[in-house]
Chains A and B, each alone.
Chain A
């Protein structure tokens, strides 16, 4: 399939032939992957937020529901928010059925995503391993693994010998504060290239007629009584029958502009780190629940890792040193051999932490408005299912079957989905 932009130029194709042709012309002639349209005054649907979830929503609106008169508004450049900041882990290893069904639906979409988008998102099912340190924790892994397998997800217990083979660098001695006894692996879990997910959805949505409008910040909402009928932006007023919000950490501030002052959300900062490239060291994703640490190795060779959120409300996109120290010490507790490896950079992203640790995909809270938020620090893996379910909610004005439990009103109905059982304490989810 070939597509043309407004001036008739051929848009980017990535065939072997195109690679050779562009190599011969010193890569000067690559065409943009999506158009840069001016905003129109009216759309059927506006999606506020050009991150992974917003772009996926626009793509599925066009593909599954035939709604192509759609604008995605992004305040910065595409991929500048959490879709370009996360640590790329994809898994569905939850305990509660509502979470497993939703994230497993997402996993199945991931498994076909590169074909679906005709864009290599580098989805790699390298497995996600949870480490266990006590017999009680291993019993809990049995329970969670069985819960997953009941609902068509995959899980397998690992003994210490298997862990040693899987991760030779892991300290499996009896010396650490938390000696490792075994683990739980979800073999189909893994990683993907986060930027490619944003670019792939953007290109695929663009080709179905969606206008992706970058550098377009929403500054207010246009309302007719209670009903939202459009948005005021840094590039003028844009009206639409339906306005959908998918802005993650900025949810509180964007919704305040619409007159919704309180939501079951707190914004917190999560830090992430990457080391210099080293030789192949870790070919799975490892998580250390005792201290909250996780790590994988990127295809470029850098170790990508992180830990807990800083633990206080923040919109700063940067964190403080105690968590840095905490994360580094956890890394060395698991892999003492990594001590000489240098950290290349660290950064922070703003997490929309919900009150039960589960997301919100809902109609409302105002007429004409749809809200997608509350992803805590697990939004990346949800990107395909979030987009599909949000598009369904927008197009049909009713939830998709796998996202029905995630409506906003669950908090006031007493139907929270609290996988960790922490209660309404967002910093602990």
Chain B
């Protein structure tokens, strides 16, 4: 797998660390809804198909990036800097 880091260009996947599912949204820090916090921590969509996820270029620029990748083919369809990934992504 080759990931095109928006800061460094195309690099081997071994330079990156998977930081997990990017579909989750952290509840409001003031929220006392225990169910919402439990869902945020434990429950995943786990899709077979296009998957939004967060990676870190830990062996390079160390920036976090938002990737859309197929979990059935491993083909990456989009790589964005976290600041461009839109509200909610990987909070």
Contacts and interface: CB of A to CB of B under 8 A. Distances in A.
Given A266-B44, A312-B53, A322 B14 contact: yes
Contact of B71 (A264, A311, A316, A412): A316
Contacts of B51: 313
B48 A424 contact: no
B46 A263 contact: yes
B41 interface: yes
A44 interface: no
Contacts of B8: none
Interface in B65-83: 69, 71-74
Contact of B21 (A266, A320, A322): A266
**Residue of B1, B38, B46, B74 with highest tally of chain A CB at under 10 A:** B46
Interface residues of A, number: 25
Nearest to A323: B14
Nearest to B17: A311
Contacts of A312: 18, 53, 69
B13 interface: yes
Contact of B42 (A261, A267, A412, A427): A412
A362 to B, nearest CB: 14
A355 B42 CA distance: 6
Contact of A314 (B42, B45, B74): B74
Contacts of B14: 322
A252 interface: yes
Nearest to B46: A252
B39 interface: yes
| Chain B interface size, under 10 / 10 to 19 / 20 to 34 / 35 or more | 20 to 34
B20 interface: yes
B18 A315 contact: no
A77 interface: no
Nearest to B40: A424
Interface in B13-37: 13-14, 18, 20-21, 34-35
A411 B42 contact: yes
A316 B74 contact: yes
A311 B56 CA distance: 13
B20 A412 contact: no
A140 interface: no
B44 A412 contact: no
A250 B72 CA distance: 12
A315 B71 contact: yes
Given A313-B21, A412-B35, A263 B73 contact: no
Given A262-B39, A411-B42, A412-B42, A322 B12 contact: yes
A412 B74 contact: no
B10 to A, nearest CB: 15
A261 B38 contact: no
A83 B61 CA distance: 41
Interface of A: 250-253, 261-267, 311-316, 320, 322, 355, 411-412, 424-425, 427
22 contacts: A251-B46, A252-B47, A253-B48, A262-B44, A263-B43, A264-B43, A267-B48, A312-B18, A312-B53, A313-B46, A313-B53, A313-B71, A314-B74, A315-B48, A315-B71, A316-B71, A316-B73, A320-B74, A322-B12, A355-B41, A411-B43, A424-B42
Given A312-B69, A313-B53, A320-B74, 4 more contacts: A263-B43, A264-B44, A312-B53, A412-B38
